[in-house]
Amino acid sequence: MPDNNKDQCFGFKTSEYVVYPTHGVGRIVAIEEQEIAGCKLELFVINFEKDKMTLRVPTSKTQSAGMRKLSDAAVLARAMETLRGRARVKRTMWSRRAQEYEAKINSGDLITIAEVVRDLYRSDAQPEQSYSERQLYEMALDRMAREISAAQDVDESIAVQKVAEALTKAGRLRKQDVEEDDKKAA
């Protein structure tokens, strides 16, 4: 019979939001013990509500799996600052860059995910994105917004709006830099 009475293990507790690198933000709904192949195993039961998915992670594997607590205010601020930076797009084939972007998204690191959002962001004045670029951008934006939403206890739409504001503000600043450089050159 599973023991569902435990509510804290390895620094994580039930009802707490956590980040699981390959799936994003989920909530620990239980810490239970199950017998698998004759061995007792203690598991975190993590619910990813938006994806309608439940994941069971052995408590002893949380570190190797990269599971972590939500980012603190300092990391959130650095992520927002990353969005305001200059996009860095390598001049390599798209398939190679796409693999790198996907690896960054699945790293679970908020700063790295912010780099992907920044690099794949397109303002209305820029050319259209390809379908695969758009998919990766939306995946990164979704991961980032979910973590901001959970960490700051705001609705996800507000988190998306905060990201969009940082990106558009950065775009305006970059445009001003270019206009100032043009004036200096004239």
Q: Render pLDDT for 46-86 as a digit per residue (tens, 0 to 9).
A: 999 888 999 999 999 998 999 999 999 999 999 999 999 98
Per the listing, tokens 């709006």 go with 161
Closest listed residue to residue 111, CA positions, set 142, 140, 79: 79
Which residues does residue 35 pair with via DSSP β-bridges, in sequence order?
40
Taken as a whole, the chain contains a residue count of 186
Ranges of beta strands (E only) in the chain are 8-9, 12-13, 17-20, 24-36, 39-48, 53-58, 68-69
Residues of CATH 1.20.58.1290 domain(s) within the chain?
73-185
Whole-model pTM above 0.85? no
CATH number of the 8-69 domain: 2.40.10.170
- pLDDT tens digit sequence for 5-53: 466 677 898 999 999 999 999 999 999 999 888 889 999 999 998 889 9
73-185 belongs to which CATH class? mainly alpha
Looking at the chain, the domain(s) classified CATH 2.40.10.170 span 8-69
As given in the structure block, the two tokens for residue 62 are: 């949380």
CB 58, CB 33: distance < 8 Å: no
pLDDT at 67: 94
